[in-house]
Structure 1
Amino acid sequence: MSNKSNPTSRSATPIYRDVNLQIVISITLMELMGTMSINPVLPGIVQDFQLSPQQIGWVTTAFVVPIAIGAPICSVLADRFGRKAILVPSLFLFAIAGVACAFAQNFHTLLAWRFLQGVGAASLEALALTLISDLYAGKQLTSAMGLNASTIGVSLAVYPLVGSGLASMGWRYTFALPLLAILVGIWVWRSLQLPEKQPYSDFDFKVYLRNIWSNIRRFEVIRLLFIVVALFVLLFGAYLTYIPTVATSLGASEIEIGILLASMAVSFAFASSLLGSFARLFSELTLIKISFFIYTLALVITPAIEHIWMLLIPSILFGIAHGIVFPTTQALLAELAPSTNRAGFMAVTAVAVPLGQALGPVLGGLAFSAWEIRGVFYAGSIFAIATFVFLRYLIPHRIKANHG
């Protein structure tokens, strides 16, 4: 039995006007800020600290490593002590450490502050998804996941522009942006309304982990995780890795490649923002099938393109497909999350995303070695078709929520 008491479900107010969802989206924006706004300032850091090109990658690595390690830990703590008790201090640490980066006098100090900023960011993405599954159910859950995902697409286009604009005055100015996380933290504490939840009277960590494992092992969950891995294999194994190569072979400049990638981000955001409308017309299974059909179409036509700007077609198609399928699978996984350890469950299932991101370039590289650039896209299209054919076995019917 769900313990959700979201007032949105009982009113005609559009979900995008729900303050709770606006707060969740702001949390997602803070986590994305930690990487997307910083990438444009890396050349300035190299110049200021007289670094080699190989060293600058540590600015991102120092931020990402504590997220990978800390996300599951923060999720366990959120299930034990409550969402706000973890989110608010995390946002404050993210802000303070982020601003401190602007005052770093040497590279090692900068990396130390970036690491602490990553510690602050560790809970944000996983708990944002957890909050959505705490607050919404059914079609509203799918719609909320779509709007949150559209935030990712918008940030992919906007944050680099904002970061570049601030970096034009000096790279240190970009690190003023994390101050916004303090305002978000105050907003979370004062305004986020969560369903009532019975506190743990006797928290048993072994039982907690056993419950998560038993839920992860469910066949419905495994099938959905396979789909998540598959879609990120396609995105990172074909599109993001090799579309720039195709564009370069057609004479594209760096700016033109950037426009192509931005078109994917914009179409991703647009499709995700409409997911609520799509979900009222089609089942989740149908939406996933449509997405893999679009992936296949984009992959098949790419090798035949002979003009740079025609690459906008597969770019936009990829964005539309990803904008539909990714939040849809997130919503289905959220429906399967048990209420007593939802944060831990969502953190563990999130491992499917980096797994697909890691496998994609490797499999794409193998296809390139065997059949060159055309083979990458044809192999990807065969993989997409195979996934499409087997979708009826992967999701035979709408998954029912289980909040035990």
Structure 2
Amino acid sequence: MRRTPLWFPFALTLVGITSNALVTPALPNVLAEFSASEATSGFIVASGSVAGIFVAPIVGIAADRIGRRPVIVACLCMFGIFGTAVALAPTLPLLIVARFLQGVGSAGLLNLAVVLIGDVTSGDRRTKLIGRNSAVLTTGLAVLPLISGGVTQLFDWRVTFTLYSAALPLALVGWFVITPTPSVRIDSVADQLRGAIDAVRHPVNLASIVGATLVFIGIYGLFLTVLPLHLEGEFGLNAAKRGAVLSVPAVTSTLVAFNLGRLRAVFAVRQLIIGGGGIFVVTFLLLGAAGTLVLVVTAALLYGGGEGMFVPTLQEVTVSNTPDEHRAAALAAWTSASRFGQTAGPLIAGGLLKVVSTSVVLGLGSVLGIAIVILGVAGPFARSTGSSAPADAW
């Protein structure tokens, strides 16, 4: 039987991150067109991720039961159709509604990309490829803000958002290249749900879910929502320059994620989480206090290293501690937690911006770093062990 080409999960990841990576550099321009306040930025960003909190578990259960291909293709179609609607929205409420429906589609993209990798790899090879997938993600987070900022500066934010339509041809390609996996499950949906719940309740998986929530609150609430506003208000940067600064962390994040296999050969999961939490503490304190762009860029580079440690490590831990038949459901629960962080972060940040400055909000991000360090110290990650997996196909 032919197997899904390795480039496809990478492409799936790249499309998935466009949801917010294209939005954040253009946020001030969107707010200006609709005469909205800075606090509204949180609702715009969060509207694209809130659906994933509830939809991701359903997507995971469906992918485990009826196969990866139909679920992934359906998610891509919905993402592309309603992403295009975002670009055409005549009012802010309609834009937010379109973003919400686009988020229903995006609920199955990033997690199922990792599932596709986990299905056919194991051990060091799995760790390496999940790290490479995260490197694709962070490279995209570097390139996409540059594209968004540049296109927005040269043309208009609506032109930028038409890039969401790229999901539609990928859906067509996906139908032909994803390995079809006819369902062979004989258990009932109720039994499947019980098994999935047991998998999610694994102590390591629960700790990974908590970690994902904290990390994504920091990424989407502070770095991707507050920092663009901070760069405009404190340093007067236009959309193109904001996009350039937001892309800086991808340098260090990609470097770390690309070498995840080497790092895991030297450091335990617990050590990587503690180290990454410490990096977040320093990063957000520095971002809030920085009086020059040089310090902002330095902090952004440091931040990227922490992000590159967290995301692939937590994903790989979840994959390796979950039986094959519940892998998509467990990754969906992890994604649901990350979507909660993506949603709560911008909303919390938007609320704080009503009463304090962007500098103060960024500095408060150090609290997240402290919480992550505590999770690494007190969590069960030292007991993490791999589970059985098929022979490597890639």
Q: Which residue of 2 aligns with 1:213?
A: 197
Q: Which residue of 1 aligns with 2:173?
A: 187
1:227-286 per-residue CA deviation (whole Å, 9 max, x = no partner) reads 43454566678877887899899x644467765543224322232122233234444344
Letter in 1 for 2:146: L
- Of 288, 291, 295, 1:310 maps to 295
Are the counterparts in 2 of residues 46 and 52 from structure 1 also a CA contact under 8 Å?
A: yes
Distance 1:382 1:179, change over 3 A: closer
Are the counterparts in 2 of residues 241 and 361 from structure 1 also a CA contact under 8 Å?
A: no
Partners of 1:241 and 1:42 lie apart in 2 by 8
Are the counterparts in 2 of residues 79 and 342 from structure 1 also a CA contact under 8 Å?
A: yes
Are the counterparts in 1 of residues 10 and 133 from structure 2 also a CA contact under 8 Å?
A: yes
Distance 1:108 1:321, change over 3 A: closer
Partners of 1:46 and 1:310 lie apart in 2 by 27
Are the counterparts in 2 of residues 6 and 136 from structure 1 also a CA contact under 8 Å?
A: no
Select between 35-44 and 205-214 the one with higher mean Cα deviation.
Answer: 35-44
Structure 1 residue 310: Cα displacement: 3.0
Distance 1:270 1:375, change over 3 A: closer
Select between 272-281 and 324-333 the one with higher mean Cα deviation.
Answer: 272-281
Select between 139-148 and 373-382 the one with higher mean Cα deviation.
Answer: 373-382
Letter in 2 for 1:76: I
- Of 325, 349, 367, 1:340 maps to 325
- Of 127, 136, 147, 2:112 maps to 127
Partners of 2:95 and 2:372 lie apart in 1 by 42
Structure 1 residue 53: Cα displacement: 0.7
Q: Which residue of 2 aligns with 1:394?
A: 380
1:124-149 per-residue CA deviation (whole Å, 9 max, x = no partner) reads 12322222222322222222222222
Are the counterparts in 2 of residues 67 and 121 from structure 1 also a CA contact under 8 Å?
A: yes
Q: Which residue of 1 aligns with 2:309?
A: 324
Matched pairs, number: 379
Letter in 2 for 1:217: R
Q: Does 1:52 align with 2:38?
A: no
Are the counterparts in 2 of residues 268 and 319 from structure 1 also a CA contact under 8 Å?
A: yes
Please show how residues 35-74 of structure 1 align to structure 2 within 5 Å.
35-40=20-25, 51-53=34-36, 60=45, 62-74=47-59
Relative to the length of structure 2, the TM-score reads 0.76
Q: Does 1:287 align with 2:276?
A: no
Distance 1:134 1:99, change over 3 A: same
Q: Does 1:263 align with 2:253?
A: no
Please show how residues 150-299 of structure 1 align to structure 2 within 5 Å.
150-167=135-152, 168-193=154-179, 199-201=184-186, 203-232=187-216, 252-254=235-237, 260-295=245-280, 298=283
Structure 1 residue 84: Cα displacement: 0.3
Letter in 2 for 1:262: S
Partners of 1:394 and 1:126 lie apart in 2 by 23
Percentage identity across paired residues of the two chains: 25
Partners of 1:403 and 1:280 lie apart in 2 by 20
Aligned-partner SS, 2:248: helix
Q: Does 1:26 align with 2:15?
A: no
Letter in 2 for 1:181: A
Select between 271-280 and 298-307 the one with higher mean Cα deviation.
Answer: 298-307
- Higher RCO (CA 8 Å, separation ≥ 6 residues): 2
Letter in 2 for 1:399: T
1:41-99 per-residue CA deviation (whole Å, 9 max, x = no partner) reads 5666667xx73315787655554343333222222221221110111132233323433
Letter in 2 for 1:207: D
Q: Which runs of 5 or more structure 2 residues have no equivalent in the other structure?
A: none
Partners of 2:254 and 2:195 lie apart in 1 by 35
Select between 96-105 and 296-305 the one with higher mean Cα deviation.
Answer: 296-305
Partners of 1:373 and 1:56 lie apart in 2 by 14
- Of 100, 104, 127, 1:142 maps to 127
Select between 312-321 and 51-60 the one with higher mean Cα deviation.
Answer: 51-60
Computing the radius of gyration over CA atoms, which structure comes out larger, 1 or 2? 1
CA RMSD of aligned residues (A): 4.3
Are the counterparts in 1 of residues 63 and 328 from structure 2 also a CA contact under 8 Å?
A: yes
Are the counterparts in 2 of residues 337 and 403 from structure 1 also a CA contact under 8 Å?
A: no
Q: Does 1:76 align with 2:61?
A: yes
Q: Which runs of 5 or more structure 1 residues have no equivalent in the other structure?
A: 8-18
Are the counterparts in 2 of residues 238 and 376 from structure 1 also a CA contact under 8 Å?
A: no
Aligned-partner SS, 1:75: helix
Select between 74-83 and 222-231 the one with higher mean Cα deviation.
Answer: 222-231
Partners of 1:302 and 1:106 lie apart in 2 by 33
1:15-62 per-residue CA deviation (whole Å, 9 max, x = no partner) reads xxxx73321111111122233224455666667xx7331578765555
Aligned-partner SS, 1:20: coil
Relative to the length of structure 1, the TM-score reads 0.74
